[in-house]
């Protein structure tokens, strides 16, 4: 009996050890599943907190999309699609150049998700005359085959041209106040996009593309640009060192970027992303511009300066190459050498900005 006791105690110890291990394993498994379950919810919560009441309509996790069988050229691990340009940022966001993507794969992907895209355009004052050309060329080149809402912000709704649209595409005319100065127009552009993202866009579209009113599409612009947040390299500054970028440098402005910081110079004429991300961006820029306004300072390139500041600290998940932002007039200002250098790397001009936004 006395001998049995230690044996029993031994088995008990052994059993309790096994039990502890078992419990530990269960705890680990629970922790793991809890983590998997919590993670998307935590992200959702973060999005909701960031975007106030913006509902999460985006579906950026493409894993659950089942692609059909497709035949296309094999991606080559040992050959770069382009050797003359940067293809990915140091934070691993792709830079979108001709020759680096297969649009058929991307189309399968985005079509399976029934992606709907909103294009916001400001056509205020006399810039309304550019709208017809923009819409007509968008019908030929912009997100062809997708559901598209054109959100036209204008102070002259009666002047909006009625042009025939493809199936699944519609025009939504949104009246905005007419401000006398361009400063106020740019300031309120950010505010208006932010307000509408929160109030309506999140119910209607998955992605927003925010474009300047004075431009036309000259080539395909499709789902290759879509990402939770994207910016576009300004064609006039893509090759310069950061201290030569026309960032706002004065510390009094909210848009200030010190000389030793900065990735790229992004254009204010084309940016976008998922609705919650565009809401965050436009709200932050609007608030920063209001602070500047109250301290009686205008950033050197107004909302473009604030956009550059925002994208420095909120890295975009895709960057569009200057193919997406050609501007003949501005390039003329930089001279033939710059234009020729750019023409060597830009094999497609997809979007052409017509002049400078500030002119009346
Ligand atoms: C896309 O739309 C089709 C037809 O309306 C529907 O069957 C499908 O479930 C939708 N897919 C997604 C991911 O919402
Ligand atoms: C944007 O929304 C805020 C808060 O609802 C409102 O005060 C402001 O007037 C709105 N701005 C514009 C330009 O619609």
Q: In sequence order, what DSSP letters do the residues of 132-193 get, joined into one string?
A: HHHHHHHHHHBSTTSEEEEEEEES-GGG-------TTEEEEEEE-PPPSSHHHHHHHHHHHH
15 lies in a domain? Answer: no
Residue 162 pLDDT exceeds 80: yes
Which mutation among 191, 283, 286, 287 tests ligand 2's pocket best, with the greatest number of atoms within 8 A of CB? 191
Domain coverage including residue 248:
92-359
- The residue contributing the CA closest to ligand 1 atom 4 is 114
| 198 three-state secondary structure | helix
11 part of a folded domain = no
- Say if residue 55's pLDDT is above 90: no
- Residues 107-132: what's their mean pLDDT? 94
Q: Counting atoms of ligand 1 from 1, which one is nearest the CA of 59?
A: 13
Counting ligand 2 atoms within 8 A of each CB, the residue from 195, 279, 285 with the most, and so the one to mutate, is 195
In sequence order, what are the beta bridge partners of 153?
122, 174
Any domain includes 110: yes
Is it the case that residue 332 has pLDDT exceeding 80?
A: no
Q: Residue 319 falls within a domain, yes or no? A: yes
Q: Is the pLDDT of residue 19 over 70?
A: no
Average pLDDT over residues 171-189: 90
How far, in Å, CA of 281 to CA of 286, rounded? 8
Q: Point out the ligand 1 atom lying closest to the alpha carbon of residue 114.
A: 1
Q: What own/partner pairs with CB < 8 Å and gap ≥ 24 does 76-85 have? A: 84/344, 84/345, 85/321, 85/345
Of all protein residues, the one whose alpha carbon is nearest to atom 12 of ligand 1 is 113
What distance in Å separates the CA atoms of residue 140 and residue 127, rounded to the nearest whole number?
21
Task: Name which residue sits closest to atom 3 of ligand 2, judged by CA.
Answer: 195
Pairing of strands 270-274, 351-353: unpaired
Q: Among the atoms of ligand 1, which is closest to the Cα of residue 65?
A: 13
Calculate how far, in angstroms, residue 164's C-alpha sits from the geometric centre of ligand 2: 32
- For residue 256, the surrounding DSSP H or E stretch is none
Is 196 known as a binding-site position? Answer: no
The answer to the question of whether 84 is labelled as a binding residue is no
Q: Whose CA is nearest to atom 2 of ligand 2?
A: 195
Ligand 2 midpoint to CA 26 (Å):
52
Structural domain includes residue 139 = yes
User: Residue 212, annotated ligand binder?
Assistant: yes
For range 204-220, the mean pLDDT: 95
Percentage of residues in the chain having pLDDT higher than 70 = 80
Check whether 45 has a pLDDT greater than 50.
no
User: Catalytic annotation on 58?
Assistant: no
For 18-28, b/e burial (b = at least 16 CB within 10 A) is eeeeeeeeeee
Q: pTM score, two decimals?
A: 0.82
Assign 355 a pLDDT band (cuts: 50, 70, 90).
low
**Ligand 2: lining residues by beta carbon, under 6 Å:** 188, 191-192, 195
Instruction: Indicate whether 31 pLDDT > 80.
Output: no
| Region 280-301 average pLDDT | 96
Q: What is the C-alpha to C-alpha distance for residues 77 and 311, in angstroms, rounded to an integer?
A: 30
How many domains are there within the chain?
Answer: 1
- CATH number, domain of 191, equals 3.90.550.10
Distance, CA of 122 to CA of 141 (rounded, Å)? 19
CA distance 279 to 286: 10
- pLDDT, tens only, 220-261: 999 999 999 999 999 888 889 999 999 999 999 999 999 999
Q: Residue 97 domain-assigned? A: yes
Lowest mean pLDDT among 61-65, 107-111, 141-145: 61-65
**304, 323, 337, 360: which one is catalytic?**
304
């Amino acid at each position: 009996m006395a001998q049995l006791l230690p044996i029993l105690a031994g088995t008990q110890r052994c059993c309790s050890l096994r039990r502890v291990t078992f419990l530990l394993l269960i705890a680990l498994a629970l922790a793991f599943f809890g983590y998997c379950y919590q993670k998307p919810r935590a992200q959702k919560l973060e999005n909701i907190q960031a975007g106030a009441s913006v509902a999460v309509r985006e579906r950026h996790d493409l894993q659950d999309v089942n692609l059909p069988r497709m035949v296309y050229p094999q991606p080559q691990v040992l050959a770069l699609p382009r050797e003359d340009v940067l293809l990915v940022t140091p934070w691993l966001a792709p830079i979108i150049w001709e020759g680096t993507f297969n649009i058929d794969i991307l189309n399968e992907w985005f079509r399976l998700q029934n992606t709907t895209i909103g294009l916001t355009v400001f056509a205020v004052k006399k810039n309304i005359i550019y709208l017809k050309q923009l819409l007509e060329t968008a019908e030929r080149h912009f997100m062809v085959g997708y559901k598209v809402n054109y959100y036209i912000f204008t102070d002259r709704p009666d002047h909006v041209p009625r042009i025939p649209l493809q199936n699944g595409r519609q025009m939504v005319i949104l009246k905005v106040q007419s401000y006398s100065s361009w400063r106020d127009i740019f300031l309120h552009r950010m505010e208006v996009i932010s307000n509408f993202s929160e109030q309506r866009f999140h119910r209607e579209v998955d992605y927003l593309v925010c474009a300047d009113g004075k431009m036309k599409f000259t080539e395909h612009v499709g789902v290759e640009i879509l990402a939770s947040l994207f910016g576009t390299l300004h064609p006039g500054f893509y090759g310069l060192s950061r201290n030569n970028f026309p960032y706002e440098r004065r510390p009094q402005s909210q848009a200030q970027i010190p000389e030793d910081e900065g990735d790229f110079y992004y254009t204010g004429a084309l940016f976008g992303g998922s609705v919650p991300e565009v809401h965050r961006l436009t709200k932050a820029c609007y608030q920063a511009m209001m602070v500047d306004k109250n301290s009686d300072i205008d950033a050197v390139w107004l909302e473009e300066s604030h956009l550059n500041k925002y994208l420095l600290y909120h890295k975009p998940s895709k960057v569009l190459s200057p193919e997406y932002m050609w501007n003949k007039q501005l390039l003329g200002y930089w001279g033939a050498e710059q234009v020729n250098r750019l023409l060597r790397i830009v094999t497609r001009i997809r979007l052409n900005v017509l002049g400078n936004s500030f002119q009346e």
